[in-house]
Amino acid sequence: MRIIEDELLKWRFKRGSRAALARIYEKYVNALLSLAMGLLNDPHEAHDVVQDVFVSFAQGTDGFEVKGSLKAYLARSVVNRVRDRARRKRSQQRRIDALATTAGGSAATDRTLVYSERCERLSAALAQLPCEQREVVVLKVKHEMTLREIARIQSVSISTVHGRYRYGLNKLRALLNGDMDHE
């Protein structure tokens, strides 16, 4: 049923239907926010990423061509946008660190998230996973994607995704059970 509705939505959207765009947004915004939040661990950035994805999506009707799952396409867009932000942040942080070093100071950031203790622990543990493992775990668990869909998004084999998922879950278990140091 979801596939038929998505194909109809893609067809209508390509022909300029605002109602189709609204339905796509309504249908996938929460899942995409959950995905972005799992990858970023920052609700404001997660909202920004999802908003950017939908703005780009809405502006792309002329060259719009989604082959396969609409859900996977939007998830891939979120993952790519998160990766772009991470690259920009690393670059900015290197510049800040260089300035702080030359000025003799240090850059410190405080983040405050209002979550239960369990959510905080899970978020902290997820943040400690290597990026590729974190992406796989979040896409699989929170976004309910198949290993095949994740392999397409990450441009790797299914066995690589399976390994990343297994290692990611094992490390999460160890972190949450206190078997490993966490920072």
Helix extents (H) in 115-183:
117-128, 131-137, 147-154, 158-176
C-alpha–C-alpha distance, residues 124 and 148, integer Å: 27
Structural domains of the chain sorted by starting position, each given as residue range(s) with its CATH number in brackets? 1-83 (1.10.1740.10), 115-178 (1.10.10.10)
Name the stretches of the chain with pLDDT < 50.
103-115, 180-183
pLDDT at 124: 80
Distances (CA, A) of 51 to 29, 36, 56, 58, 172: 9, 11, 9, 10, 29
pTM of the model: 0.59
pLDDT at 1: 62
